[in-house]
Structure 1
Amino acid sequence: MPSLPLTRRSIFAQAWPIMLGQATVPLVGLVDTIVIGRTGSAAALAGVALGTTIINFTFWTFGFLRMGMTGMTAQAEGAGDTAEVRAMLARGVMMGIVIGAILFALQVVIVPLAFALFAGGETLDAAARGYVAARFFGAPAGLAGFAIIGWLLGLGRTRAALLLQVAMNCINIVLDILFVWHFGMGARGVGLGTAIAEWSELLIGTVIALKIAGPGTLAALRAQGAGLFDRAALKRLFAVNADIMIRTIALLFLFAWFANAGARLGTVPLAANQVLMQFVSIAAFVLDGFAFTAESRIGMAIGAGSRERFRRAIRLTGEFSLSAGLVFALVTLIGGGWGIAAITDNAAVRDHAEALLWFTALVPLIGAPAWLLDGIFIGATRGTALRNAALLATALYVGTDLLLRPFGAPGMWVALLASYVFRALALGGYLPALTRSIAQTPERS
Structure 2
Amino acid sequence: MAVHTIDRARVRREAGATVRLALPLIVAQLSAMAPNAIDAILAGHFSAHVQAAVVTGTSIWVLALVLALGTMMSVSPTVSQLDGAQRRGEIGAIFHQALWIAWILGAALWFASRNATPLMTAFGVVPSLHDDVEAFLHAISWAAPALTTYFALRGLSEGLSMPMPSMYFSIGGLFVLAPLGYVLVYGKLGFPPMGARGTGIATAVAIWAEMIGFGIYVLTHRAYRDINLRQRFAMPRWSKIAPLLHIGVPMAITLLMEAGMFVGVALLIGRLGETVAASHQIALNVASMSFMVPLGLSMAITVRVGNAVGRKDAAGVRYAGFCGIGLVVAVQLVAVALMLGLPHGIAAIYSNNPAVIAMAAHLLLFAGMFQFSDGIQVASNSCLRGLKDTRVPMAITLVAYWVIGMPIGWYLGFPRGLGAPGMWIGLIAGLTAAAALLFGRFYRVARRASWTSAT
Q: TM > 0.5 between the two? A: yes
Task: Check the 8 A contact 1:92/1:148 in 2, yes or no.
Answer: no
Corresponding residue SS for 1:443: coil
Deviation at 1:86, TM superposition (A): 1.6
Determine the structure 1 residue equivalent to 2:409.
401
Determine the structure 2 residue equivalent to 1:413.
424
In 2, Cα distance between equivalents of 1:78 and 1:397: 38
Determine the structure 2 residue equivalent to 1:148.
153
Determine the structure 2 residue equivalent to 1:180.
185
Task: Check the 8 A contact 1:120/1:263 in 2, yes or no.
Answer: no
Task: Check the 8 A contact 1:179/1:190 in 2, yes or no.
Answer: yes
Determine the structure 2 residue equivalent to 1:100.
106
In 1, Cα distance between equivalents of 2:338 and 2:311: 39
Deviation at 1:279, TM superposition (A): 1.1
Task: Check the 8 A contact 1:68/1:241 in 2, yes or no.
Answer: yes
Count of residue pairs the alignment pairs up? 434
Determine the structure 1 residue equivalent to 2:449.
438
Deviation at 1:361, TM superposition (A): 3.0
1:237 aligned onto 2:244: yes
In 1, Cα distance between equivalents of 2:227 and 2:431: 45
1:425 aligned onto 2:441: no
Task: Check the 8 A contact 1:141/1:202 in 2, yes or no.
Answer: yes
1:206 aligned onto 2:215: yes
Deviation at 1:392, TM superposition (A): 0.8
Task: Check the 8 A contact 2:401/2:431 in 1, yes or no.
Answer: no
Match of 1:114 among 115, 119, 132: 119
Deviation at 1:312, TM superposition (A): 0.9
Distance 1:332 1:432, change over 3 A: closer
Corresponding residue SS for 2:326: helix
Deviation at 1:75, TM superposition (A): 1.1
Task: Check the 8 A contact 1:76/1:85 in 2, yes or no.
Answer: yes
More moved, 393-402 vs 56-65: 56-65
Deviation at 1:44, TM superposition (A): 5.0
Following superposition of structure 1 onto structure 2, how do residues 376-391 of structure 1 map, counting pairs within 5 Å?
A: 376-391=383-398
Distance 1:144 1:306, change over 3 A: same
Determine the structure 1 residue equivalent to 2:6.
none
In 1, Cα distance between equivalents of 2:232 and 2:353: 55
The root-mean-square deviation of aligned C-alpha atoms, in Å, is 2.6
Deviation at 1:45, TM superposition (A): 4.5
Residue identity in the other structure for 1:202: M
Task: Check the 8 A contact 2:92/2:227 in 1, yes or no.
Answer: no
Residue identity in the other structure for 2:124: A
More moved, 339-348 vs 354-363: 339-348
Gaps of 5+ in 1: none
Match of 2:292 among 285, 297, 315: 285
Match of 1:22 among 9, 16, 29: 29
Distance 1:36 1:355, change over 3 A: farther
Task: Check the 8 A contact 1:397/1:419 in 2, yes or no.
Answer: yes
Task: Check the 8 A contact 1:137/1:195 in 2, yes or no.
Answer: yes
1:73 aligned onto 2:79: yes
Deviation at 1:230, TM superposition (A): 4.5
Distance 1:290 1:219, change over 3 A: closer
Greater length-normalized contact order (CA 8 Å, ≥ 6 residues apart): 1
Distance 1:44 1:423, change over 3 A: farther
Task: Check the 8 A contact 1:22/1:285 in 2, yes or no.
Answer: yes
Deviation at 1:353, TM superposition (A): 2.5
Distance 1:279 1:424, change over 3 A: same
Match of 1:64 among 70, 74, 78: 70
In 2, Cα distance between equivalents of 1:296 and 1:343: 36
Gaps of 5+ in 2: 1-11
Deviation at 1:92, TM superposition (A): 2.2
1:237-258 deviation digits (Å, cap 9, x = unpaired): 2222232232233223212212
Distance 1:131 1:40, change over 3 A: closer
1:192 aligned onto 2:201: yes
Task: Check the 8 A contact 1:276/1:357 in 2, yes or no.
Answer: yes
More moved, 138-147 vs 355-364: 355-364
Distance 1:97 1:398, change over 3 A: same
Deviation at 1:349, TM superposition (A): 4.2
Determine the structure 2 residue equivalent to 1:53.
59
Task: Check the 8 A contact 2:315/2:454 in 1, yes or no.
Answer: no
Distance 1:25 1:443, change over 3 A: same
Match of 1:367 among 361, 368, 374: 374
More moved, 31-40 vs 311-320: 31-40
In 2, Cα distance between equivalents of 1:57 and 1:258: 15
Determine the structure 1 residue equivalent to 2:228.
217
Distance 1:328 1:442, change over 3 A: closer
In 2, Cα distance between equivalents of 1:262 and 1:160: 39
Distance 1:263 1:278, change over 3 A: same
Deviation at 1:354, TM superposition (A): 3.3
Following superposition of structure 1 onto structure 2, how do residues 126-137 of structure 1 map, counting pairs within 5 Å?
A: 128-137=133-142
1:268-322 deviation digits (Å, cap 9, x = unpaired): 4333333332212211112212101100001111111111111111232122211
Determine the structure 2 residue equivalent to 1:266.
273
Deviation at 1:93, TM superposition (A): 2.7
Identity across the alignment (%): 21
Residue identity in the other structure for 1:104: W
In 2, Cα distance between equivalents of 1:166 and 1:78: 29
Deviation at 1:68, TM superposition (A): 1.2
Task: Check the 8 A contact 2:383/2:442 in 1, yes or no.
Answer: no
